[in-house]
Structure 1
């Protein structure tokens, strides 16, 4: 039920490989995190899965069927993306009804309940929504779709801390009641870790890690500080993620943390 397979998938834009020979198996009814920096290849991978773009080579299967130009397979997936897909003059209530036309299992009662919890005014037009409330509308559509596979690409864009917490809480509550395959693409690794069952890390278009989150947390650690000192520390170590803000840097290192490493840090 709902097995997703990437088999040696590559996407090239001229000389640039946005996705490089990616092979991956996603078992059904789990919550996956697709993690990496902006531009790492996460969105490329999801766009290929959902037919927004096509691979240069390789194949992607859903229950042993190709996903490419396969409407029946694509109807099993709901992709929440940053793209503006809805007419700007449409009211939120109309967007809900419109989505139900494409996803017959769409739970209108649940969508309206979520709108109330997030204080989303259903009478508002799409064009009047802030970035945060545009994300909230899309989150609600995804969670209420009841599609077997739900895909979130940077789902908390523009959300404040309270709304992010509410999203994670509602997502887990819904998953516990109605298990689905959920893929969450984000660069906010620390924030999302408690929600995930398995983590997939992508770097420069290559899949570098796929592990249960519990195992990953035991096998990796984060170091942060002045960028020059962090660069010196991580030299010759397996870095699976790093972020820089001004002169500060944080890096996630894939190795067991021991007393010697603590002294070096």
Structure 2
């Protein structure tokens, strides 16, 4: 099965800012959900804009087999994007936006959009500018789902939303995702919030890849050791990625290559993605 998203040695240079992205490579097939992580300035937005064909780049990128810049009209048939910055036309009513979407996109399913919005408090006659941010995100997602897109990129989609809207958003998102051969990229600072959704993760720092892995491999490659402080010098010699001091003991993030060497020194726990993210960001600094 060919990849829905293929990125090979993608780089981006800005005249004044310098290098924003350096030699990033990955592939995504149907059924994969990639968490794109990194602090501000890590290169996430630059990579997303490259995938969307919004600017020139170096390297090779293919979206469903098409090149994003030269064949942007082709990729937009199966690629959708939702960002934290609202791009829906505020002067339109909800009904007008649905009419417009139905007219410009041949695969738009109006009945599906109406059914999804029927589960919300969004009224067809409401002006989009009068909707809350949560409602706007729900409306945007309903349009994406009704368009039956294959590739969806989310950029901080739940930023500023309360827990109820976040729960509703991700519930509808997962229903859509499992209803077809699709792939999903989620860029977010809320690592703990999206961890359970991911099959893969790509962590960037200063435009470079510091970790590219499946979620399954992360639990195999790293672990947390909670050990008494009397073992501190022994554990420090094993090059821990990070540590968190407690009362009389310390939690260490270690590579699995040292599992046998710390056997019996303390309790072993599965590593959380948020712990690994923070450790790699500090290590790469």
Task: Structure 2: give runs of 5+ residues left out of the alignment.
Answer: 226-235, 243-251, 269-285
Kindly indicate whether the alpha-carbon contact (under 8 Å) linking 2:30 and 2:181 is maintained by their aligned counterparts in 1: no
> Equivalent residue for 2:59?
58
Residue pair 2:84, 2:158 contacting (<8 A) in 1 also: no
Q: Is residue 111 of structure 2 the alignment partner of residue 109 of structure 1?
A: yes
Name the SS of the counterpart of 2:61 in structure 1.
strand
Q: Shift of residue 189 of structure 1?
A: 1.2
**1:171-224 deviation digits (Å, cap 9, x = unpaired):** 22222222311111111111111112112222221122222213224444689x
Cα shift at 1:108: 2.0
Which structure is larger by alpha-carbon Rg, 1 or 2? Answer: 2
Q: Please state whether the residue corresponding to 1:139 is helix, strand or coil.
A: helix
**Which residue of structure 1 aligns with residue 13 of structure 2?**
12
Asked if 2 retains the 8 angstrom alpha-carbon contact of 1:132 and 1:157, the reply is no
Instruction: Call closer, same or farther: CA 1:143–1:255 in 2, change over 3 Å.
Output: farther
Unaligned runs of 5+ in 1: 224-232, 240-251
The change in CA–CA distance for 1:87 and 1:206 in structure 2 (over 3 A counts) is: same
Equivalent runs, 1:32-181 vs 2, <5 Å: 32-55=34-57, 57-70=58-71, 71-181=73-183
Change over 3 Å in CA distance of 1:18–1:215 after alignment to 2? same
Query: 1 CA distance for matches of 2:103 and 2:218?
Result: 41
1:215–1:131 Cα change, 3 Å? same
* Aligned residue number for residue 228 of structure 2: none
SS in structure 1 opposite 2:106?
Answer: coil
Residue 115 of structure 1, CA deviation: 1.8
What's the CA shift for 1:90?
A: 0.3
DSSP 3-state at the match of 2:114: helix
Alpha carbons 2:3, 2:27 under 8 Å: kept: no
What displacement does 1:253 show?
5.4
Counterpart-to-counterpart distance in 1, 2:17 and 2:267:
41
Task: Decide whether the 8 Å contact of 2:6 with 2:26 is kept in 1.
Answer: yes
Higher mean C-alpha deviation, range 80-89 or range 19-28: 80-89
TM-score by length of 2: 0.73
Cα-to-partner distance string for 1:120-171 (whole Å, 9 max, x where unaligned): 2232112112232222222222222211211111111222111211222222
Aligned twin of 2:280: none
Question: Where do 1:110-259 residues align within 5 Å?
Answer: 110-220=112-222, 237-238=240-241, 255-256=255-256
TM-score, structure 1 normalization: 0.78
Deviation per residue, 1:2-40 (Å, 9 max, x gap)? 532212111122243221121222223322221222332
After superposition, the Cα gap between the structure-2 partners of 1:125 and 1:222, relative to the gap in structure 1 and judged at 3 Å, is farther
| 1:36-68 superposed Cα distances (whole Å, 9 cap, x missing partner) | 22332212111111112221x222123444222
